[in-house]
C-alpha cells in the first residue's frame, strides 16, 4: 500500500488506486458468485419461466387464422358481419386462393381445427374445401365455392371467420369462464346451464383442495406431535413409515385405493363382516368426490406431517412445563402456549398440500369419476386429447392467478416470513 503524491490518494503496490482495485475485486467476486448460481438460474428459466410465458402467450394467440388465410382476412375488413348479407365476390376469390395455398402447404386442416373450437363443422368444411377448390380456376368464385358445400352460403360461416381473424383473442378466457361471444351480434353471453362446466370445476377444485388440506392437518397434527415428543430413537423409526409412501409409485398408491374403496373391495367386505352395513348397502366410495378426498389425503399427508414435525421439534418442552407449573390447565397451556408456536409449520404444510392438491390430476382421474375430477383434469384433456392448447393454457393461467392470489392473501394474514420448515 502506497500513497500517491497526487491529492494523497491511496494506491496499491502496482500503482492502481485503492478504490479502483477494490471495485474490481468486488466485480470479480460478484461474477464468480453469478457463475456458481447460473446453472440453477438457467434451469429455472428453461423449466419454469419459459413454459409460463409460453402458456400466457398461447392463451391469447390467434395468429393461425391470419397466417393461413391472409387474403381472406384482408378482404373481410370491409364486410359487416351483422348486415345479413354474404361477402362479395372478392372475398370468395381470396378464400379460394388461400385454401389452394394452404392445401399445398398442408395447413388447410389446421385452420379447420382452430375454427372448429369455436363452432363444430369447420374441420370437415375445410377438409372438403381442400379437395374441391383445386378444380376452381375461373370466376365466378362465389358460385363455384358454394357449389362445393352449401355452408359457404351461410352467413354464420363467415361471421365465425370474421370474428376470429385478429391475431389476439379473448375467446379462450371467455370459454374458461363459461361465456361466449355470439357470432350473430358480437355480444358476450353466458353459456347455457347444461354447457357450463368450468366455473363448477374451479369451485369444486378449490373446495376439495381445502377439505383435503384440512383433513391432512387434522390427521397430521397429532402424528407430528407424537413424533416430536417421543425419544429420538423411536421417532427416527416412525418417520420412516411417514416417508414410506414417497418410496412407492403414485400410480401404485392410487390403484391400491381403488382396490380398497370399490364396492366389492376390502373396506366394504370388512364393514359387512362386522355387521355395520348389509350386503345390499355397500358404500360407493370410488369414482366420486369421496374417493378423491380419501386417496389424496393419504398421498399428501406427509407434506403436512414433515413441516409440522420439523417446527414442533424446535419448540422447547419447558414452555408447557412452565405454564403448568404456574397453574395453567394442560389443555389451556397447550392451546395458548404450544399451539401458537406451531403456526409456521401449519402455514408451510397447508401451502404445500393446497398447492399440490389444486394441481393434481392423476389421482382424481383414476378415482374421482364425474364428481371428483379437478380443473387440472380438463387442462390435461385439452393439452393431450382435444389439442385445444389455447383453452388449456387459459385455464392454466386462471389457476395460476388463483394460487398467486391465495399466496398473497396468506402473506397478508399470516406472513410468508413466519412460515418455517424448521
Instruction: Please state, in angstroms and rounded to a whole number, the distance separating the CA atoms of residues 98 and 361.
Output: 41
Range of the domain at 54: 2-58
Instruction: Please state, in angstroms and rounded to a whole number, the distance separating the CA atoms of residues 80 and 325.
Output: 85
Query: Is beta strand 2-3 parallel, antiparallel or unpaired with respect to 10-11?
Result: antiparallel
Is there a contact between 246 and 302 (Cβ–Cβ < 8 Å)?
Answer: yes
pLDDT of 32 reads 87
For residue 189, the surrounding DSSP H or E stretch is strand 188-190
| Same domain as 409, residue 301 | yes
| Same domain as 263, residue 226 | yes
Give CA separation, 238 vs 12, 127, 364, 391, in Å: 61, 63, 29, 45
For residue 210, the surrounding DSSP H or E stretch is helix 198-229
Establish if 160 belongs to a structural domain: yes
Establish if 178 belongs to a structural domain: no
| Same domain as 324, residue 215 | yes
| Same domain as 157, residue 305 | no
Q: Does residue 319 register a pLDDT over 60?
A: yes
| Same domain as 134, residue 244 | no
Establish if 191 belongs to a structural domain: no
Distance of CA 181 to the CA centre of its chain: 25
pLDDT tens track for 236-285: 888 888 888 878 888 888 888 988 888 888 888 888 988 888 888 888 88
Interval 37-49 mean pLDDT:
85
Establish if 190 belongs to a structural domain: no
Confidence class for position 322, pLDDT limits 50, 70, 90: confident
Is there a contact between 262 and 369 (Cβ–Cβ < 8 Å)?
Answer: no
pLDDT of 16 reads 72
Give CA separation, 293 vs 8, 254, 261, in Å: 76, 12, 12
pTM reported for the whole predicted model: 0.82
Enter the C-alpha cell of residue 52.
409460463
Establish if 398 belongs to a structural domain: yes
Establish if 16 belongs to a structural domain: yes
In sequence order, the 6+-apart residues with CB closer than 8 A to the CB of 228 are: 235, 309, 312, 313, 315
Instruction: Please state, in angstroms and rounded to a whole number, the distance separating the CA atoms of residues 257 and 216.
Output: 17
Helix (H, G, I), strand (E, B) or coil at 286: coil
Establish if 207 belongs to a structural domain: yes
| Same domain as 367, residue 241 | yes
| Same domain as 397, residue 256 | yes
Establish if 176 belongs to a structural domain: no
| Same domain as 163, residue 286 | no
pLDDT tens track for 75-128: 999 898 888 889 999 999 999 999 999 999 999 899 999 999 988 899 999 999
Give CA separation, 149 vs 97, 144, 335, 387, in Å: 17, 9, 75, 26
**Domain tally, the chain:** 3
The percentage of the chain sitting over the pLDDT mark of 70, rounded to a whole number, equals 94
Q: Does residue 4 register a pLDDT over 60?
A: no
Q: Does residue 420 register a pLDDT over 60?
A: no
| Same domain as 44, residue 67 | no
| Same domain as 375, residue 229 | yes
Which residue, of 152, 169, 186, is where some domain finishes? 169
Interval 277-295 mean pLDDT:
88
| Same domain as 111, residue 28 | no
257, with CB counted inside 10 A (0-12, 13-18, 19+), is: buried
Which residue, of 28, 58, 88, is where some domain finishes? 58
| Same domain as 142, residue 255 | no
pLDDT of 54 reads 86
pLDDT tens track for 146-203: 999 999 999 999 999 999 988 999 999 999 999 988 888 888 999 888 888 899 999 9
Mean model confidence pLDDT for the chain: 87
Integer-rounded Cα radius of gyration of the chain: 32
Query: What CATH number did the domain enclosing 299 receive?
Result: 1.10.3720.10
Which residue, of 23, 38, 58, is where some domain finishes? 58
pLDDT of 9 reads 67
Amino acid at each position: 500500500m502506497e500513497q500517491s503524491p497526487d491529492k494523497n490518494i491511496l494506491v496499491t503496490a502496482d500503482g492502481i488506486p485503492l478504490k479502483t482495485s477494490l471495485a474490481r475485486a468486488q466485480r470479480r467476486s460478484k461474477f464468480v458468485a453469478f457463475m456458481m448460481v447460473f446453472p440453477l438460474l438457467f434451469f429455472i428459466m428453461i423449466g419454469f419461466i419459459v413454459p409460463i410465458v409460453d402458456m400466457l402467450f398461447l392463451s391469447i394467440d390467434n395468429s393461425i387464422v391470419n397466417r393461413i388465410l391472409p387474403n381472406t382476412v384482408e378482404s373481410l375488413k370491409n364486410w359487416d358481419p351483422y348486415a345479413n348479407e354474404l361477402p362479395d365476390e372478392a372475398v370468395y376469390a381470396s378464400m379460394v386462393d388461400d385454401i389452394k395455398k394452404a392445401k399445398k402447404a398442408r395447413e388447410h386442416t389446421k385452420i379447420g381445427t382452430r375454427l372448429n373450437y369455436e363452432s363444430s363443422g369447420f374441420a370437415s368444411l375445410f377438409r372438403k374445401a381442400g379437395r374441391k377448390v383445386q378444380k376452381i380456376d375461373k370466376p365466378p368464385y362465389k358460385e363455384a365455392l358454394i357449389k362445393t358445400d352449401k355452408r359457404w352460403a351461410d352467413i354464420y360461416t363467415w361471421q365465425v371467420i370474421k370474428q376470429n381473424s385478429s391475431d389476439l383473442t379473448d375467446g379462450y378466457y371467455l370459454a374458461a369462464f363459461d361465456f361466449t361471444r355470439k357470432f350473430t351480434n358480437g355480444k358476450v353471453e353466458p353459456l347455457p346451464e347444461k354447457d357450463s362446466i368450468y366455473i363448477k370445476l374451479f369451485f369444486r377444485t378449490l373446495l376439495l383442495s381445502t377439505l383435503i388440506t384440512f383433513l391432512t392437518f387434522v390427521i397430521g397434527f397429532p402424528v407430528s406431535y407424537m413424533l416430536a415428543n417421543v425419544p429420538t430413537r423411536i421417532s427416527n423409526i416412525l418417520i420412516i413409515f411417514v416417508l414410506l409412501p414417497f418410496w412407492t409409485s403414485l400410480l401404485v398408491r392410487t390403484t391400491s385405493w381403488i382396490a380398497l374403496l370399490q364396492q366389492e373391495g376390502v373396506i366394504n367386505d370388512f364393514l359387512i363382516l362386522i355387521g355395520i352395513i348389509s350386503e345390499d348397502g355397500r358404500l360407493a366410495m370410488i369414482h366420486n368426490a369421496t374417493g378423491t378426498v380419501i386417496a389424496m389425503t393419504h398421498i399428501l399427508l406427509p407434506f403436512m406431517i414433515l413441516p409440522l414435525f420439523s417446527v414442533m421439534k424446535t419448540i422447547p418442552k419447558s414452555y408447557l412445563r412452565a405454564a403448568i407449573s404456574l397453574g395453567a390447565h394442560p389443555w389451556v397451556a397447550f392451546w395458548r402456549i404450544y399451539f401458537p408456536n406451531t403456526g409456521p409449520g401449519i402455514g408451510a404444510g397447508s401451502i404445500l398440500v393446497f398447492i399440490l392438491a389444486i394441481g393434481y390430476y392423476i389421482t382424481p382421474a383414476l378415482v374421482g369419476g364425474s364428481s371428483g375430477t379437478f380443473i387440472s383434469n380438463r387442462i390435461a384433456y385439452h393439452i393431450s386429447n382435444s389439442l385445444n392448447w389455447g383453452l388449456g393454457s387459459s385455464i392454466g393461467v386462471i389457476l395460476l392467478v388463483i394460487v398467486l392470489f391465495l399466496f398473497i392473501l396468506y402473506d397478508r394474514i399470516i406472513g410468508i416470513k413466519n412460515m418455517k420448515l424448521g
